[in-house]
Amino acid sequence: MNHAFKAGLAVTACLFASIATAQSTNSFPQMPVDAKTLRIFNQAEEVYERTDYERAFFIYRNELAPIGDKYGQYMVGFMYLTGKGVDEDRVAASAWYRLAAERGTKEFIRARDQVLRSLNGEQRAESDQLFMELRREYGDLVLLARAIREDYQELKSRTGSRVSAGSSPVTVLDMRRSGSTTSGSEYYGRIERRLEARLDYIAQHTEIDIVDLDADSLDIDEFEQQVENYLGRLD
């Protein structure tokens, strides 16, 4: 336990100094971070610094981790590892560390591997099961699949049977961009490119078959079934 504990402390010190780097890798098609999320993040940090660990754990666990915030997921694991604000549980810590390491952030990977090496066979099996459960709820693949469906439905509602943006003289009021207006082709083209970037990321980082698949040829129901099947096994 002492080895894993020290590893967690070392990683936390590093992460507090470089939050932005820890959040994502350059290749991940990042979800937009709004002002509300930033406020929640700052609140969690302030509460933790005041040593109100139970409140900090609640925020990391219930407000940041579910939206795919990797630092928040890491902190849930760290607090399980150290028993801050929650009962000490090395198995739970390892599972949350595994979730936080999905995007390949080296600090998270280092912490994950050190804690996993400290588990015995029975504990590792428990960690596997809990990680799979967490991944099905809060993992990147689930979040990306959800975002892909939202983009798909947005494109489909605009163009009917085809989802490709095409050309359009329609002006769109985009409230997500401070109420700005843009042409229909530009607005829907941006959504299509975002959808395809997410599909590309999934194709590169999983074994899900998305070869030559674009926004217009996407069968959303079949895609979601592939995601479900993939999440049912441990890599």
**What global pTM score does this model have?**
0.80
Indicate the range of 5-14, 46-55, 137-146, 167-176 predicted with least confidence.
Answer: 167-176
211 φ/ψ angles, rounded to the nearest 5 degrees: -65, 130
For residues 200 and 181, is the Cβ–Cβ distance under 8 A? no
Q: Helix, strand or coil for residue 163?
A: coil
Share of the chain above pLDDT 90, in %: 51
The Cα 187–Cα 182 span in angstroms is 6
The Cα 125–Cα 152 span in angstroms is 37
The Cα 79–Cα 93 span in angstroms is 8
Mean pLDDT, residues 135-153? 93
The Cα 97–Cα 88 span in angstroms is 14
Domains annotated for the chain, with CATH where assigned, are 2-134 (1.25.40.10), 140-231 (no CATH)
Kindly list the distances between the CA atom of residue 78 and the CA atoms of 4, 152, 203, 212, 227, in Å, as whole numbers in the listed order. Answer: 10, 37, 31, 40, 29
Q: Tokens 């599909």 correspond to what residue?
A: 199
Position 20 scores a pLDDT of 44
Mean pLDDT, residues 195-222? 83
DSSP codes, 55-90:
HHHHHIIIIIGGGT-HHHHHHHHHHHHHTSSS---H
84 φ/ψ angles, rounded to the nearest 5 degrees: -95, 115
CB within 8 Å of 51: residues ≥ 6 apart: none
- Answer whether residue 6 shows pLDDT above 60: no
Average pLDDT in the chain: 82
Mean pLDDT, residues 180-203? 84
- Answer whether residue 36 shows pLDDT above 70: yes
Quote the tokens at residue 119: 């588990």
Specify the amino acid at residue 109: I
Instruction: Give the bridge partners for 183, in sequence order.
Output: 171
Indicate the range of 46-55, 79-88, 146-155 predicted with least confidence.
Answer: 146-155
| pLDDT band (50, 70, 90) for residue 1 | low
Position 12 scores a pLDDT of 56
The Cα 212–Cα 79 span in angstroms is 43
| pLDDT band (50, 70, 90) for residue 30 | low
- Answer whether residue 13 shows pLDDT above 50: no
Q: For residues 16, 30, 174 and 227, what is the CA-based torsion angle, rounded to 10 degrees?
A: -140
- Answer whether residue 81 shows pLDDT above 90: yes
Position 206 scores a pLDDT of 87
- Answer whether residue 16 shows pLDDT above 50: no
* pLDDT tens, position by position, 37-72: 889 999 999 999 999 999 999 999 999 999 999 999
Q: Tokens 């979730």 correspond to what residue?
A: 99
The residue among 77, 76, 60, 145 whose CA lies nearest residue 111 is 77
**Greater pLDDT, 215 or 10:** 215
Position 101 scores a pLDDT of 95
Position 17 scores a pLDDT of 40
